[in-house]
């Protein structure tokens, strides 16, 4: 029995109602989920812990076998179900057949870089030489712009395909229209009812699209487009005398973009990542291999490696360096060029980390003052000294630290601010930003429920904060009313084995919308704890039988759970976290990533 009953359908785990991080630990499984877990275990002969993990993530007993072996072919919809997909496919197929020059206009993040790379590589397989343009974040900003379109047209492009952008680029596409440059948009951002005038606009989040694929990252939509294009070219006889391009070989890039855009790893997305990680393990993409080596990725690739080691290095180019580096890296066939670009991106990432640390210290102080004096529903921080390429990272850190939506804004000398925001589950930030644009509070803005960008005048910040308070305060209060950590099962250091991890991997890969299993370790002695690296706490926890388990608590030196670990040497503490395989020095070992800690004597209210 994990815990005691309470008013919540999910019982408290180990009786922890208030942890070091002020969380109540509750079983992830509801009573109904527990019945489903038993049915999964009995029907399919699966171990109880795996059945619990599946049931807690909404897997029904009849669906368990297919979930454990996601088939891309079965989960992938007919591309034609997306509005305008057939028109997009036909226009690009015409250009391919005629050998016309195609320009690819991508976003400067990982999703944009991977989307651009898979389309470019596909066209290169067909003998074309597409040109890729990734806008400079500082000079050009997000999305298509008139000067870039004019330059692409002057370079001979007769068709432009925009990826991960373009759904709201009305003015830019007026320029394309004047130049008679056809435009196909492939995107996934939320949009209103009015759309720009282009040849085709494929976006599963446009309001008239009923495909049900709005959870896909842009790279996932782009891959669907390639499936449709490949089908159309095959129908036209394009492969009568040559082999078809190997679409499956592109899934490593699809997986990278999907993980880094933090879309839910469910359904087709999960299949993309599952299959893509297997392709990545083969190390066939020179650029991806070189960047993984530069990031010191060890062992089999996992979503963690993509989201926290590989992805940030690609983003570093778009944030503070050459925005085109990522797409160039992922499309090069030259191993030497790949290594050179990877080393440059690794260097830029280090520079980005240094700049981020300085900016975060300033933003934290501003956020703390705002909370103390006004307690706003949404944090708005800004400075003329900040780099606009890093504000999204600052917003993310503030959101995590203060558990509320947050924006960070970099102002130029004229008082114009470029900002990025990050939200919490239950608060649609993109919708609020679009309404603020309509209300005249912002010059421009848009995004997803969980992330948004904006352009604002400095004198409008107070009005914008008041607007967010009025429109989002109820949502923020509801989303933050209860602080909980969902726990899948109790475990001991003795039971944290490689065999258990191999079992749990069958229910992965884990990520956004498909969270890693969290285990609670009851009253384990903290036999070692010390600070390592940049504020991390490394520890060893020991079970009653003496079995030890190595653990790491990231960026926790000054956090309540990190302090409790450091002060708790030699004591027994409840510890909760996720398990992973550490391949450092070649020998695989189980490692615990600590998320929270509780004092057995003080955690019950």
- Phi, then psi, of 342 in degrees rounded to 5: -60, -40
Give the model confidence (pLDDT) of 498-555 as tens digits: 999 999 998 999 988 899 999 999 999 999 999 999 899 999 999 999 999 999 999 8
Query: Has residue 5 got a pLDDT over 60?
Result: no
**Structure tokens of 494?**
């003795």
Span 84-108, average pLDDT: 97
Q: What is the pLDDT of residue 245?
A: 96
Domains defined along the chain, listed by start: 75-346 (3.90.1640.30), 374-479 (3.10.310.30), 488-605 (2.40.50.140)
**Residue from 154, 73, 164 nearest 118 by CA:** 164
Q: Are 224 and 77 in contact (CB under 8 A)?
A: yes
Q: What is the pLDDT of residue 583?
A: 73
Q: What is the pLDDT of residue 412?
A: 94
Q: Give the CA count within 13 Å in the CB-facing half-sphere of 340.
A: 7
Determine the 3-state secondary structure of 596 from DSSP.
Answer: strand
Query: Has residue 605 got a pLDDT over 60?
Result: no
Give the model confidence (pLDDT) of 168-202 as tens digits: 999 999 999 999 999 999 999 988 899 999 999 99
What is the pTM (predicted TM-score) of this model? Answer: 0.88
Q: What is the pLDDT of residue 6?
A: 40
Alpha helix (H) residue ranges in 458-585:
461-479, 498-505, 560-567
**Structure tokens of 29?**
């499984």
**Structure tokens of 235?**
């129908």
- How many whole angstroms separate alpha carbon 568 and alpha carbon 525? 9
Span 435-453, average pLDDT: 90
Give the model confidence (pLDDT) of 306-336 as tens digits: 999 999 999 999 998 899 999 999 999 999 9
Query: Has residue 7 got a pLDDT over 50?
Result: no
Query: Has residue 489 got a pLDDT over 60?
Result: yes
**Which percentage of the chain shows pLDDT scores above 70?**
98
Average pLDDT across the chain, whole number: 93
Q: What is the pLDDT of residue 433?
A: 94
Give the model confidence (pLDDT) of 54-91 as tens digits: 999 999 999 999 999 898 989 999 999 999 999 999 99
Give the model confidence (pLDDT) of 279-314 as tens digits: 999 999 999 999 999 999 988 899 989 999 999 999
**Which percentage of the chain shows pLDDT scores above 90?**
86
Query: Has residue 9 got a pLDDT over 70?
Result: no
> How far, in Å, are 181, 223, 299, 361, 364 from residue 273 at the CA level?
35, 13, 17, 35, 35
Q: What is the pLDDT of residue 581?
A: 86
Q: Give the CA count within 13 Å in the CB-facing half-sphere of 396.
A: 8
**Structure tokens of 290?**
């070189």
Determine the 3-state secondary structure of 440 from DSSP.
Answer: coil
Long-range contacts of 561-564 (CB under 8 A, 24+ apart): 561/19, 561/20, 561/21, 561/594, 561/595, 561/596, 561/597, 562/537, 563/20, 564/20, 564/597, 564/599
Span 139-148, average pLDDT: 92
> In sequence order, which residues have a C-beta less than 8 Å from that of residue 472 and are 6 or more positions away?
377, 378, 405, 427, 429, 432
Q: What is the pLDDT of residue 481?
A: 84
Q: What is the pLDDT of residue 587?
A: 77
Give the model confidence (pLDDT) of 557-585 as tens digits: 999 999 999 999 999 999 999 999 887 66
Q: What is the pLDDT of residue 191?
A: 87
């Amino acid at each position: 029995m994990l815990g005691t009953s309470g008013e919540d359908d999910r019982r408290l785990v180990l009786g922890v109602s208030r942890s070091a991080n002020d969380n109540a630990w509750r079983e992830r499984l509801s009573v109904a989920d527990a019945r489903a877990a038993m049915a999964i275990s009995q029907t399919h002969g699966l171990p109880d812990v795996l059945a619990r993990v599946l049931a807690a993530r909404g897997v029904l007993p009849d669906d368990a076998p297919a979930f454990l072996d996601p088939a891309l072919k079965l989960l992938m919809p007919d591309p034609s179900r997306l509005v305008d997909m057939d028109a997009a496919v036909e226009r690009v197929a015409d250009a391919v057949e005629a050998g016309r020059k195609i320009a690819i206009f991508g976003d400067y993040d990982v999703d944009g870089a991977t989307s651009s790379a898979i389309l470019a590589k596909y066209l290169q397989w067909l003998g074309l030489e597409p040109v890729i343009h990734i806008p400079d974040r500082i000079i050009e900003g997000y999305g298509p712009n008139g000067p870039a379109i004019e330059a692409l047209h002057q370079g001979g492009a007769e068709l432009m395909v925009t990826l991960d952008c373009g759904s709201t680029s009305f003015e830019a596409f007026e320029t394309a229209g004047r130049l008679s440059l056809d435009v196909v948009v492939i995107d996934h951002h939320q949009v209103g009812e009015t759309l720009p005038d282009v040849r085709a606009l494929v976006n599963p989040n446009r309001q008239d699209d009923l495909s049900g694929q709005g959870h896909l990252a842009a790279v996932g939509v782009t891959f669907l487009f390639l499936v449709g294009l490949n089908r159309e070219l095959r129908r036209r006889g394009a492969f009568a005398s040559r082999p078809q391009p190997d679409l499956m070989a592109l899934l490593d890039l699809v997986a990278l973009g999907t993980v880094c855009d933090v879309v839910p790893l469910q359904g087709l997305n999960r299949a993309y990542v599952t299959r893509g990680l297997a392709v990545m393990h083969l190390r066939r993409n020179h650029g991806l291999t070189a960047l993984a080596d530069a990031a010191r990725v060890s062992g089999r690739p996992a979503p963690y490696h993509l989201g926290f080691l590989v992805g940030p290095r690609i983003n570093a180019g778009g944030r503070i360096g050459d925005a085109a580096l990522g797409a160039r890296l992922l499309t090069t066939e030259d191993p030497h060029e790949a290594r050179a670009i990877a080393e440059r991106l690794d260097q830029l990432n280090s520079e980005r980390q240094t700049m981020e640390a300085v900016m975060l210290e300033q933003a934290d102080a501003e956020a703390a003052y705002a909370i103390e004096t006004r307690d706003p529903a949404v944090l708005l921080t800004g400075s003329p000294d900040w780099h606009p390429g890093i504000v999204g990272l600052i917003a993310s850190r503030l959101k995590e630290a203060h558990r509320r939506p947050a924006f960070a804004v970099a102002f130029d000398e004229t008082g114009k601010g470029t900002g990025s925001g990050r939200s919490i589950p239950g608060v649609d930030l993109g919708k609020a930003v679009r309404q603020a644009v309509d209300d005249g509070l912002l010059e421009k803005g848009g995004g997803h429920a969980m992330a948004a960008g904006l352009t604002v005048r400095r004198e409008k910040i107070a009005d914008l904060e008041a607007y967010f308070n009025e429109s989002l305060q109820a949502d923020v209060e509801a989303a933050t009313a209860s602080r909980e950590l969902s726990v899948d099962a109790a475990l001991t250091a003795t039971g944290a084995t490689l065999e258990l991890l191999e079992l749990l991997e069958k229910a992965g890969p884990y990520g956004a919308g498909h969270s890693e299993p969290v285990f609670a370790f009851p009253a384990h002695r903290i036999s070692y704890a010390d600070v390592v690296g940049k504020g991390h706490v490394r520890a060893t926890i020991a079970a009653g039988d003496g079995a030890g388990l190595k653990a790491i608590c990231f960026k926790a030196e000054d956090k309540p759970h990190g302090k409790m670990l450091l002060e708790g040497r030699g004591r027994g503490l409840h510890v909760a976290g996720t398990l992973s395989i550490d391949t450092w020095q070649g020998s695989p070992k189980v490692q615990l990533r600590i998320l929270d800690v509780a004092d057995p004597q003080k955690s019950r209210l």
